[in-house]
Amino acid sequence: MKKMIDLHIHTNKSDGFLAPKEVIDEAIKNEVSVIAITDHDTIDAYDDDLFDYAKKNNIVLIPAVEISTKSEKSSVHVLGYNFDLNNMKFREKLKKIRNYRHDYLYDVSEKLKEFGYKVNVGELDKIDAVTKAHISLDVISNKENEDFLIKNFGHLPSKGEFIENLMNEGCPAYIKKSAVTPKEAADLIKAAGGKVVLAHPVAYSYEDNLTEDDIVNLIKIMNIDAIEGNYLYVDKNGIIHDDINKWNSFAKSNNLISTIGSDFHFDDGIKPNIGFRNKKYTISKEEIDEILKYLYS
């Protein structure tokens, strides 16, 4: 199998569509030999059976997580890799962060109901790592909301469009969610023996108007050595923004490792699939070796 790598993949343990083993199957199909499952605030995808299945299929599976945090200026996602899966303090803190999500679910659902939307809170509460994406999808998939959605949007919105127009900061149904800071998340990952990567800085540029100086400050505060520079950003209108060269240059200028991730949740025909196979984007063997050397050092 050709050496290909994807270090940002979600499963149905958070807001992805595929089960963990199905992610491995997809990686095999796409000829991706090194992967990391980065579910939101949970490592429930990882068990001995999954590692055995990956090994049997010649897939290198790196333990990983994507922790939701809040800085002074924006929400920030922090990726952690190759930590001790059995570190109980790490597991307990992730559980606490997931509980923040359920508090948020109840608060934002009340706000959405005030605006006239029906939310199936009982079913959503069964999802361990419930996210904005779950809530948004529940609203737009509910036939009882259809006429109201069309009245407000002029069409049936995507879940991303609903989030960016209703639920994000500065929007009518915005609710401030309890969260750890980026530094707290970074320190948590390091304490469990892991490596820390700032997820998709390109997203903060488009969604929160963060500047390169803002990103530099975040990196300094977190005291980290890597960013997810090889990342294609897809906006709420389904437009793909390829700023990879910019962020790889940024990484090089700041002596940072630049990792790679598709941020795969499901195949929507627009966003990258596992390994970027539908985008025909690859990085060199030397770049892959540099990334793996960092994650395993």
C-alpha triplet 124, 145, 270: angle, nearest 5°: 75
* pLDDT band, very low/low/confident/very high, at 236 (cuts 50, 70, 90): confident
Please report where in the chains the tokens 């960016």 appear, as a residue. 164
d(CA 119, CA 144): 10
State which fold the 5-88+181-296 domain adopts: TIM Barrel (3.20.20)
Supply the pLDDT for residue 169.
85
* pLDDT band, very low/low/confident/very high, at 176 (cuts 50, 70, 90): confident
Supply the pLDDT for residue 2.
64
Q: Is 177 exposed, middle or buried (0-12, 13-18, 19+ CB in 10 A)?
A: middle
pLDDT tens digits, residue range 6-27? 999 999 999 999 999 999 999 9
Supply the pLDDT for residue 3.
80
Whole-model pTM over 0.75: yes
d(CA 207, CA 199): 14
pLDDT tens digits, residue range 119-168? 999 999 988 878 899 999 999 999 999 999 999 999 999 998 999 999 99
pLDDT tens digits, residue range 23-65? 999 999 999 999 999 999 999 999 999 999 999 999 999 999 9
Structure tokens of 204? 């903060």
Supply the pLDDT for residue 263.
98
CB distance 97 to 215 below 8 Å: no
pLDDT tens digits, residue range 273-287? 999 999 989 999 999
Looking at the predicted structure, is the pLDDT value of residue 1 above 60? no
Neighbours of 178 (CB within 10 A): 13
Supply the pLDDT for residue 101.
87
d(CA 232, CA 271): 8
Supply the pLDDT for residue 68.
93
Domain limits, CATH 3.20.20.140, in the chain: 5-88+181-296
Print burial letters for 2-23: b (CB count within 10 Å at least 16), e (below 16): eebbbbbbbbbbbbbebebeeb
Rounded to the nearest 10 degrees, what angle do helices 212-222 and 201-208 cross at? 130
